[in-house]
Every structure is written in structure tokens, then in C-alpha cells.
């Protein structure tokens, strides 16, 4: 099992590689530029060479680059969509220059423009962004979402439709986020629920399309449709559920990347160690929320949801 975390490029691109190695990663994820800005400086050949040399020296693979948070290829607004196409094209160019295996992309939001139109806009925008770029070994991964507001990609059916729209046009697959699955209504916290979820994923999308797992616990309850990550074993999914996830025979060959909070120095290393320990089947000494408490809270959430509609914009 290859595991890692999202590391910072602060100071220099290659610092993300060195930080991943120091933490103990086998694989890692990073941004290739400011994730909350439309414009990014072109990478110099020297910077790319330093990065690739550092990565080769530490043997870290795969590398996933997470795309800019502002990008919305499904946007009904023509200006936002044009900015998104340009920004994602730049993401692809930087990823190729850095020798990344994956670029992880959020499918985007319909923004009250209708989901069918948004899916069509996503397809045309993605193909436009990639046009003429030699992707080499790079694959675009769509990340499942928690189902907040008008955001696309929370259901396997919608992810299959999004992927189907670009099939044969460019290399594309899925990045599955555990916190998003759980918040989106897939019961991966139970033994039976995980089995059912994996079977559905295989039947609707195909497990061969899944290339990466974002391993995150959830700060919010089941089916909350809120995207809030927690430390492994300290959220509503829990350590026992993560032990089953990382040891599932259909998932063990996939790389797992943590995007967990950094509340204090060493948190990344602790989450990595926890995931590795659970992957070895070890539970002794592992801190986790009690299952009985989680179930009680989940039932309370379901009762409240039947009374008050879920507000996802400010979850």
C-alpha cells in the first residue's frame, strides 16, 4: 500500500518533495501554484529539473497535483468558464512539465444553471483546456464531492456520466474521497455499507477507473452533504472503518493520500502513521470515537434533517 499526504510548495517546488520524504510518504499530492488565484507564473525549466531530480532521488510515486479551487469548468457564466479553461490548461501544462501522474479536479458547480447544461459545459470546457497538449502519462482524475448545493459529482451515476463525456478523448479516471463519500450518503463506515459501496462503484463506474483515494475522516455526520475533513480515526467514519477501507482487497492496490487538518506540528506524520498502522490491521492503542456515539449522533442528524432542509452553502 502506497500512502502519502498533501505537502506544501512554500519556498520552492522541490520543497514539497523533501517534505513528503521527511514525513515518510510513499506518494504525495501538492498544488503547482496558488490554489486560490487565476494567474500563475510559468515554471522555469530549472525549477522543473530541480523538482524532478528531488522526486527521483526519493522514489516518490505517484504524484498527484490538485487543481486550483477556483476552477469551475461547468460554470454557466461565460467569463468564469473562460477563466477556468485557461487556468486548467495551465494546470495541465505544469503537471506535464513536473512529470505528474495525476491532476485531481473538482467537477464544478451548476450555479443554478441546470445540471444537464452543466455536465455538457464541463465536457466541452475540459476538452478545450486539454486541446493540443501532449499529456504523456498524465491522467485527469475527477474527484467525487459531498453533494453540497449545486456541485456536480456526488453520485456514482453523475461521475460515470461526466467521465463518459470525455471517454476516448483524453485519459481520465476518478479520485475517491472517503469524507465526501460518507457526507454524500455512501455508508462506508459500516462493514456492509463499505461492501455495498464498492460493489456499486464497480458496477456503475468501474473500479478500473479509480486511480487514487483521498483518505480523510469526516467532521460532519453521515449524509450531511458538508465537506469537512477530520484526522484519521477521530471523525464520524472512525478508525475501525478505515482499517476495513485500507485493507479492502479491491482497494489495497490504490495509493491513499491524506488531506487531513494540520492543527499542530506533526499532524501529517501522525495521520500517515495511523493509516499505515491500520493498513497492517493493528487496532491496539488506536484512538477513535466510540461507534455507539456515532450511531446515536447519526440518528439525531437524520431526525433533524426530516424537519429542517439541509443548508449546504454554509455547512
| Active site (annotated) includes residue 248 | no
| Active site (annotated) includes residue 186 | no
| pLDDT at 111 (0 to 100) | 87
The catalytically annotated residue of 106, 211, 277, 294 is 106
Judge contact between 81 and 73, C-beta under 8 A. Answer: yes
The catalytically annotated residue of 55, 180, 189, 243 is 180
The catalytically annotated residue of 14, 177, 217, 234 is 177
Question: Exposed, middle or buried by CB within 10 Å (0-12, 13-18, 19+), for 32?
Answer: buried
| pLDDT at 287 (0 to 100) | 58
Q: Biggest alpha carbon distance in the chain?
A: 59
| Active site (annotated) includes residue 66 | yes
Query: Which residue in this structure is represented by grid cell 453533494?
Result: 147
The catalytically annotated residue of 14, 91, 101, 143 is 143
| Active site (annotated) includes residue 177 | yes
Q: Cα dist. 115→67, 78, 201 in Å?
A: 22, 16, 21
Q: What residues form DSSP beta bridges with 218? A: 229
Q: What residues form DSSP beta bridges with 256? A: 3, 213
* HEC string for 86-137: HHHHHHHHHHHHHCCCEEEECCCECCCCCHHHHHHHHHHHHHHHHCCCCCCC
The catalytically annotated residue of 150, 202, 259, 267 is 259
Question: From the first residue on, what is the mean pLDDT of each consecutive set of 10 residues in the chain (315 residues)?
Answer: 96 97 98 94 96 98 97 97 98 98 97 91 98 97 96 98 95 98 98 98 98 98 97 98 98 98 95 96 61 40 33 47
How many whole angstroms separate alpha carbon 44 and alpha carbon 145? 34
Q: What share of the chain is helix, strand, coil (3-state, %, to 5)?
A: 40, 15, 45
Question: How many other CB atoms are there within 10 angstroms of residue 280's CB atom?
Answer: 12
The catalytically annotated residue of 229, 243, 244, 277 is 229
| Active site (annotated) includes residue 229 | yes
Q: Give me the domains of the chain, ranges plus CATH numbers.
A: 3-307 (3.20.20.150)
Question: How many other CB atoms are there within 10 angstroms of residue 128's CB atom?
Answer: 16
| Active site (annotated) includes residue 36 | yes
State the DSSP H helix or E strand holding residue 4, giving kind and residue range, or none if neither: strand 3-6
pTM: 0.90
State the DSSP H helix or E strand holding residue 257, giving kind and residue range, or none if neither: strand 256-258
Amino acid at each position: 500500500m502506497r500512502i502519502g499526504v498533501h505537502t506544501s510548495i512554500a519556498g520552492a517546488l522541490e520543497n514539497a518533495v523533501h517534505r513528503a520524504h521527511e514525513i515518510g510518504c510513499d506518494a504525495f499530492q501538492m498544488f503547482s501554484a496558488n490554489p486560490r488565484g487565476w494567474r500563475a507564473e510559468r515554471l522555469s525549466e530549472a525549477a522543473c529539473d530541480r523538482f524532478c531530480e528531488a522526486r527521483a532521488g526519493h522514489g516518490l510515486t505517484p504524484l498527484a497535483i490538485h487543481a486550483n479551487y477556483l476552477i469551475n469548468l461547468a460554470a454557466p457564466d461565460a467569463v468564469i468558464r473562460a477563466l477556468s479553461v485557461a487556468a486548467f490548461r495551465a494546470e495541465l501544462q505544469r503537471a506535464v512539465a513536473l512529470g505528474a501522474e495525476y491532476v485531481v479536479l473538482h467537477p464544478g458547480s451548476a450555479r443554478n444553471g441546470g445540471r444537464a447544461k452543466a455536465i455538457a459545459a464541463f465536457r466541452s470546457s475540459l476538452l478545450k483546456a486539454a486541446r493540443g497538449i501532449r499529456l504523456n502519462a498524465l491522467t485527469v482524475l475527477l474527484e467525487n464531492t459531498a453533494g453540497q448545493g449545486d456541485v456536480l459529482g456526488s453520485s456514482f451515476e453523475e461521475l460515470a456520466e461526466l467521465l463518459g463525456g470525455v471517454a476516448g478523448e483524453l485519459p481520465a479516471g476518478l479520485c475517491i474521497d472517503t469524507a465526501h463519500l460518507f457526507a454524500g450518503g455512501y455508508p462506508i463506515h459500516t462493514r456492509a455499507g463499505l461492501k455495498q459501496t464498492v460493489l456499486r462503484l464497480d458496477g456503475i463506474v468501474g473500479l478500473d477507473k479509480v486511480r487514487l483515494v483521498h483518505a480523510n475522516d469526516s467532521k460532519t455526520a453521515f449524509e450531511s452533504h458538508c465537506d469537512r475533513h477530520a484526522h484519521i480515526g477521530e471523525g464520524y467514519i472512525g478508525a475501525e472503518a478505515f482499517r476495513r477501507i485500507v485493507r479492502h482487497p479491491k482497494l489495497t492496490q490504490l495509493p491513499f493520500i491524506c488531506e487531513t487538518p494540520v492543527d499542530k506540528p506533526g499532524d501529517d506524520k501522525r495521520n500517515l502513521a495511523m493509516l499505515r498502522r491500520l493498513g497492517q490491521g493493528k487496532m491496539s492503542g488506536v484512538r477513535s470515537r466510540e461507534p455507539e456515539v456515532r450511531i446515536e449522533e447519526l440518528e439525531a442528524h437524520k431526525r433533524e434533517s426530516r424537519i429542517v432542509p439541509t443548508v449546504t452553502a454554509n455547512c
